[in-house]
Structure 1
Amino acid sequence: MHSHVRRGLPMLTALGLTVGVTALAAPAAHAEPDCGRAPVQYSVDGGAHWTNDATMPAESGSVQVRLAGVPTAGCDYHVSLGSYATQGATWATSGQQTFLGWATTTLTREHYRDTLDVTGHLPRCYGELALYSVGEKYDGSDSDHPLPHYPDEPFSGLGIASWNGGTACAPTPTPTAAPTSAAPTPTPTAAPATSAAVSTPPPGGPTASPRADQRTPAAATATPTATATAAPALAATGADDGLLIAAGVAAAALVAAGGAAAYVGRRR
């Protein structure tokens, strides 16, 4: 019997050592690193100045963040930046907030610096920027992601820094109806003046008179008669006055001779 015990002792010893080593190694293999809260610093001027102050020095849609000190290996640190429109320039007067935009990043020992950018979602008037150490978007989508509302903020205890400010929005002008303009009164057009050269037609005559430059001169259309009436005055044409007088005398003599011949004939 003792021989069996002596032969089994080495085997039991080896088995005990194996179990002991396994038991000691198991907790070390499954131990989680103690990350704690992220030691974050931020910059709103492109990295020229870094701070961990709880109040942002200025509104900035681009915020650089970095891990301060020596981060624990194997730890992930989530950092987010939210942009909100508010009803006042301070946290106490912020009133009802409206979610505008969000950016997030994960910092590690290897990736210890990054930039959060919400420049396309900055408030136009009063607003708030919130920098906090969690990778959640608080946009009011459900009860687990409510909007900030004074005095409660959803990332309480996780906030890194915040900014409140801005100016009041200009009131929206009330549209007014365009004035109706009265239609312009047409100005009567004066009838064209009748040329003095056009004569009024006599009753029963033609309804239209020819233009002055289309009428035939009276001297050219007058028909000579054989009556002993005074000869119409002839317009001066540049002919010799003596010839005109002689022609007139001859015509008068012819008329007188004709009258005498007719009288003699009746007497016979």
Structure 2
Amino acid sequence: MHPHPRRLPALTAVALTALTAGGAALAAPAAHAAPDCGRAPLQYSVDGGAHWTAGATMPAESATVQVRLAGEPAAGCDYHVSLGSYEAQGPTWATSGRQAFLGWATTTLTREHYRDTLDVTGHLPRCYGELALYAVGEKYDGSDSDHPLPHYPDEPFSGLAIASWNGGTACAPAPTASPTTPAPVPSTPTTAPTTAAPTTAAPTTAAPAPVPSPTGPGTPSRTPTPAPTLAATGSDDGLLTAAALGAVVLVAAGGATLHVGRRR
């Protein structure tokens, strides 16, 4: 009789299976775990790098903010940093009221690129305003519900804020419109005066002037009588005049004779 093969107990078989699996796991290469970046160890400066701080309140308003990673950041980690500029209705966060987006700047810091400058020149608030430095590469400009504007007491970068500044002065009131004053008319004309064209009118015939009467007392007014016009007879004018004078002399002589005869 052939002897029957020896069977191993079930527990022994399970143990062998576990040992085999464990050996395969030890032989496999270990997977690379992702680095634990965590919160960026960040510092910033508002005076060109003369002083660095990690305080939550910016010491002054500045159009340029320098940022840097402090300590030894983990290799393979990216740290996003942004600076947003907003116009506000009050000088503090509690009185900032409705804000308006003006502009922003963003950068990504790494172990190799550990320092940079955020510049919002040309986007600073004119009056009351806010500057927000936060650790994310998103622009909170009110464009949609995922990117709302800051509004007290809620801020879109809650938990990501690094530092902020609130302040400024009130805007000057807008000037009221004044009535328009007409420009003064110069006393001396700047152009030569225009000569009016002569108007053509019908000629007017002047009435003859009256003949003045003598001003002496007792002198009757006389109306000149035109001399009779003698008909032309073809004789000489001088002879006619002499004949007329002779007749006058004869009449005068006859009258004188008659008067003398009556006296006698």
* TM bracket, shorter-chain basis: 0.5 to 0.7
Aligned length, in residue pairs: 178
Offset, 1:180: 3.5
Q: 1:179 to 1:153 in 2, by over 3 A?
A: same
* Residues 182-208 of structure 1 deviation map (CA, whole Å, 9 limit, x = unaligned): 86899xxxxxxxxxxxxxxxxx9xxxx
Q: 1:72 to 1:179 in 2, by over 3 A?
A: same
1:129 to 124, 128, 131: 131
Counterpart position of 1:41: 43
Counterpart position of 1:145: 147
Instruction: Give yes or no for the alignment of 1:95 onto 2:97.
Output: yes
> Aligned ranges for residues 98-113 of structure 1 at < 5 Å?
98-113=100-115
Q: 1:18 to 1:185 in 2, by over 3 A?
A: closer
Paired with 1:80 and 1:182, the residues of 2 have a C-alpha distance of 57
Paired with 2:25 and 2:147, the residues of 1 have a C-alpha distance of 48
Instruction: Give yes or no for the alignment of 1:21 onto 2:27.
Output: yes
> Aligned ranges for residues 96-245 of structure 1 at < 5 Å?
96-180=98-182
* Residues 148-190 of structure 1 deviation map (CA, whole Å, 9 limit, x = unaligned): 000000001110000000001111112223123686899xxxx
- Tell which structure's C-alpha radius of gyration is larger: 2
The letter for the 1-side match of 2:56 is A
Offset, 1:20: 3.2
The letter for the 1-side match of 2:178 is T
Provide structure 2 residue ranges, at least 5 long, that are not aligned to the other structure.
Answer: 6-18, 189-207, 209-264
Paired with 1:182 and 1:16, the residues of 2 have a C-alpha distance of 105
SS at match of 2:122: helix
The letter for the 1-side match of 2:137 is G
**TM-score, normalised with respect to structure 1:** 0.60
Paired with 2:184 and 2:68, the residues of 1 have a C-alpha distance of 69
Counterpart position of 2:34: 32
Q: 1:185 to 1:163 in 2, by over 3 A?
A: closer
Paired with 2:182 and 2:83, the residues of 1 have a C-alpha distance of 52
The letter for the 2-side match of 1:145 is H
Query: Which is helix-richer, 1 or 2?
Result: 1
Q: 1:179 to 1:69 in 2, by over 3 A?
A: same
Offset, 1:15: 8.8
Query: Percent identical across equivalent pairs?
Result: 77
Paired with 1:146 and 1:72, the residues of 2 have a C-alpha distance of 32
